[in-house]
Structure 1
Amino acid sequence: MSINLGAEISRRRREQKLTQEDLAELSDLSVNFISRLERTKDQNISIQKLDSIARALNTTTPDIVNNAYREKQVRNSEVVQDSTPVFIKKVANELRKLPKERAEKMCKAFIILLKEANE
């Protein structure tokens, strides 16, 4: 499972009101490296560099990794919770094919039917 360490590093950096330049200076890394790490999904980072960033952010490497992993789990669970059943997607797709006025009439009729079914 890939996690986005750069997003977690960026979040922590902004929380501490540090610029990328500040973090680069504190971690003895280049601004270009910090920028690339934060903006891309390229997670090619050595443990030494990650340790240096963690120290500069007053945290630990495991803490950064764990939070990035937790964030990935939260995003994945949101996708599952927000997924629309296939039959609803099919209905919506068919409604999109209709002229706007006709689709609106169909939706109103469908809502009436649903309300009657729930009585």
Structure 2
Amino acid sequence: MNINLGEEISRRRREQKLTQEDLAELSDLSVNFISRLERTKDQNISIQKLDSIARALNTSTPDIINNAYSAKNIKPENHVNNTPIFIQKVTNELRKLPDDQAERVCKSLIVLLKEMN
């Protein structure tokens, strides 16, 4: 089942009273790219571009993705035990690393999370 990130981005942009031009400028992306993303089902977007858009909209990439799923009243296909998709993505990336690297990354994340509290 597909989601449309463009719909969620458009909704948030309009909510903040931004034009496509404003969002393009704030995210350092082209107006054509923003327009295509919002008006088509073409979801060919890199995580870096989605991050730029999320920052420009004063939100996070996981929040945009999760709200796009919620708007469609669906759960991600690989959504397990109500674990948010971004946690699953981090876990999947950790599994690709050798054990010693994954352990170092996890320890660093734990330190960072503790500092945030």
- TM-score interval w.r.t. the shorter chain? 0.5 to 0.7
Aligned-partner residue type, residue 15 of structure 1: E
Give percent identity, aligned residues only: 89
Aligned to 2:87: none
Write the distance in 1 (CA, Å) between the matches of 2:3 and 2:60. Answer: 17
Write the distance in 1 (CA, Å) between the matches of 2:30 and 2:41. Answer: 18
Matched, 1:32 2:32: yes
Greater share of helix: 1
Secondary structure in 1 aligned to 2:65? Answer: helix
Aligned to 2:60: 60
Write the distance in 2 (CA, Å) between the matches of 1:17 and 1:62. Answer: 22
Gaps of 5+ in 1: 75-119
Normalising by the residue count of structure 2, what TM-score does the alignment of the two structures yield?
0.62
Write the distance in 2 (CA, Å) between the matches of 1:72 and 1:43. Answer: 15
Matched, 1:71 2:110: no
The number of aligned residues is 74
Aligned to 1:78: none
Structure 1 residue 73, shift from structure 2 partner: 1.3
Structure 1 residue 19, shift from structure 2 partner: 0.1
Gaps of 5+ in 2: 75-117
The Cα offsets for residues 31-88 of structure 1, whole Å up to 9 and x where unpaired, read as 00000000000000000000000000000000000000001117xxxxxxxxxxxxxx
Runs of 4+ in 1 over 6 A off after TM superposition: none
Equivalent residues in 2 for 1:1-119 (5 A)? 1-73=1-73
Larger Rg: 1
The Cα offsets for residues 81-117 of structure 1, whole Å up to 9 and x where unpaired, read as xxxxxxxxxxxxxxxxxxxxxxxxxxxxxxxxxxxxx
